[in-house]
Structure formats: C-alpha cells, structure tokens
Amino acid sequence: MLVSQRVTGARARAPQLAGLLEAWYRHGRTTSSYSALSEPSRVRALVYGNHGDPAKVVHAGVTGTGLTTCDMSAEDRKSGPCVPHRTLRAARRLKNLELTAVEGSDVHVRMLAAPINPSDINMIQGNYGLLPKLPAVGGNEGVGQVIAVGSSVSALKPGDWVIPANAGLGTWRTEAVFSEEALIGIPKDIPLQSAATLGVNPCTAYRMLVDFEQLQPGDSVIQNASNSGVGQAVIQIASALRLKTINVVRD
C-alpha cells in the first residue's frame, strides 16, 4: 500500500516516482508469494544503483540475498526514465530469488505500507546526511508485520507490527529479513497510515520541541506551515507535553 500523505512534495521533485511506487506496489501485492521460508519467494523492491533524479535511477527489481536492479535493455535505458509499465515488464524478466534464511536475531517482515518522504528523495539524489551503500532499496519509513523470527529474538513475535529503528533501512519492498535491532515494535491499533509515517516527521517535531529550548507546561509555541506533516505532529506532541500552540497556515 502506498501511503498518499506527503506524496505531493515528492511529485514536485520526481514527477514519476509516486506513480512508479504505487504501480509497483499494487502489482507486487497481487503477484508476490508469501510462502514458507524454505520455498522461493518473489520479493519486489524499488532499487537504485546510483544517485540522481529518482525518476531516472529508481527501478523495480526482485531482491533476495542480494539486490538486483531493473533488467532493462540498452535500448530501453536510452529512451528515458524507468516508467511504471516498462519497469514492471522488466521486473518480470528477473529470476526469482530466495530470501535470506531466518536465523539467530533475524526477523522476516512483510511490508504493509510505505510513504514517500522528502528525505527519501534527498537520499536517492545523494543529498542527505546518511547514505546507504549502493545498490540500495529506497524508503526510510514504513510499517510491516513480522512473519517469522530467529531463535534468539526475544522482543518480537509473528504477527507484531514493526517500523524501522533508523533511516536508510529500505522500506520500498514487499518483504525482507532484517536484524531485530533494526526494528521497533508498535501497537497494532495505530492506524496503518499513521504507523507508516512515524519514523521521520514526528521525530523531527519532537526534537524541535525539546532540543533547543527548555519549554515548560503552559508555555506557547508558534509555528508556520502548521498544516504540514511536521506541523501536525508538533501540535499533537505539544499537547501531550501540555504546551500551547499558535499555528500559522497559508491562505
């Protein structure tokens, strides 16, 4: 599921990326096989092998123990960005690969939803403070459900919902095997779209409220762009901290 929140800003930076992610994910959800770990499992992901314009460098692929970029012909690559119909056709030509076996502290996760955040765009462009090793799967935020856990995993169990503990995990995929320390368990009664967008904007809002001033209950905070994702998080977190807010929006 593509979380539509904040996609507008991403479209301005990469007009085809939002459509590509939505087309890929809908396709992946209808064709991916979530079988037992001992059987081959087709895992779709949006992968970039170099930094640049997301509409040109992000391709659909199939991942397993390694990352595989879009298997496009030289003729296809010369013709322009990897648009949805071409990407999905290319992805279907890739071989099926098995997921990494779940052992020790490993956790097998099926992704339920992932958004497009401006930080995702910046990371793909190479303009972000944290850059994963290439090739990489896009996406900093998302929510997934635990399918299986390794023998030494103690804090998570099958059925739990999880979000990334840090940026750069690569959430634009149908499923993956992560280490337990890379995940944070969350309550399943959180709305899906809210859970998928917990990792960036709410953290930014919290740090804005606690890192720069020693605010006390009853203090007031004024902010502009208060109808943005960060702005709405500021209002909610400020309320929990018993702070008052003055919120400015553009007409």
Any idea where the domains of the chain sit in the sequence? 2-196, 201-247
With 0-12 CB in 10 A as exposed, 13-18 as middle and 19+ as buried, what is 49?
middle
CA distance 6 to 22: 14
Q: Does pLDDT of 150 surpass 70? A: yes
At 249, the amino acid letter reads V
**What residues are annotated to the active site?**
128
Distance of CA 139 to the CA centre of its chain: 3
- The predicted model gives 148-163 an average pLDDT of 96
- Give the total residue count for the chain: 251
Confidence of residue 21 (pLDDT cuts 50, 70, 90): low
228-246 confidence digits (pLDDT tens): 999 999 999 999 999 999 9
Whole-angstrom CA distances from 245 to 5, 138, 225, 249 are 23, 34, 13, 13
116-131 confidence digits (pLDDT tens): 999 999 999 999 988 9
Superfamily holding 2-196: Medium-chain alcohol dehydrogenases, catalytic domain (3.90.180.10)
Least confident of 7-11, 14-18, 184-188, 211-215: 7-11
Instruction: Between 24 and 223, name the one with better pLDDT.
Output: 223
Confidence of residue 66 (pLDDT cuts 50, 70, 90): very low
177-194 confidence digits (pLDDT tens): 999 999 999 999 999 999
State the average pLDDT for the chain: 77
- Confidence (pLDDT) at 1: 47
- The predicted model gives 35-58 an average pLDDT of 72
Containing 241, the helix (H) or strand (E) segment is none
